Structure 1
Amino acid sequence: MLNAELSTDMDRITQLQDAILDLLTITSTSIDYITKRTEFEQTSNKIPTTLQTPHAANRAEYKASIETFVNDIVRRSKDIKKLIENLPKKDESSHRATRLSELQKELKVANEEYKVALAQSEELLVELQLALDQALGDDSFDLNLPKQNLTMTDTADISVDDNNDGSVMTR
């Protein structure tokens, strides 16, 4: 449950970060376009136009591009506003702290249950090793060794007789 809660919040933060980066990119691109593609106009008959822009866009294309930039900036700003509204509120932090505390308690209980189950499985392993020792008549098996995986070669050498009569030989 905690992972889902954290991933949701982190996802929101990541989305917000991406949206802000998109907005900054759109704004930067808009400013670059406006400054490099504008066509200077004469504002007064007394002042001549002396600057020319080599890659200036025509008026219709320029206005359409500005309109597109404005729409993109407004749309992305609204997206950012929605993302901010969906971020966790400060008053939710006490609820989250309580939930985190509950999850930590559950984790401790689960850890204790795991330790008990592990101890039981180790006891069962020892019992199984004893039973195999008795069943196979192998007295050389040492129970004080650390946990080990039993295979047929650990307990006895078993082979099928080559007479094809199905007999089994044990050494």
Structure 2
Amino acid sequence: MNDSTTVTPSTRPSDAVTGMVDHVLALAGTWTRWDGVPAHVDDRVYTPHKAIRRVADHLVDHLAELEARLAGEEPQPDHWHASATTTDADRAPFTAEDLDEARSRLTRLARIWANRLDALTDDQLDHSPGSGWSFRHLALHLTESTYYADAVGDLS
């Protein structure tokens, strides 16, 4: 992540997730100026809508994993097409209304994550049930979602 949120091993997991979303939404605030030309990064195509979709999907996917593991269930595998697919909807203009929707969606998802993570003890964060990363590691992994927004960049 950049400027305002530096993630270190001592970063509170909830702060890492909300900081990531703040970073994404700060960039998204410039995307109403998007000229319709997708960004080509690492053999993939990125647009404002795709970046928002991928961040939201990443948050939902790992939240479902966390909740399943806490409930003692095996997490459902995801079936996202991920960043390999760019849909017609991804190529649509990114309007002020789209920005408002993105702010509502991602802010709420970040708040759900923060509330859940803050309710867990350090032991639960570091020695999480089920197989996979610890919940602390999972939260820090979510910060990698800035990649999608950074691919589109600041369009100021």
With the length of structure 2 as denominator, give the TM-score of the two structures: 0.25
Comparing both chains, which one has the higher relative contact order based on Cα–Cα distances under 8 Å and sequence gaps of 6 or more? Answer: 2
The structure with more helix, counted as a fraction of residues: 1
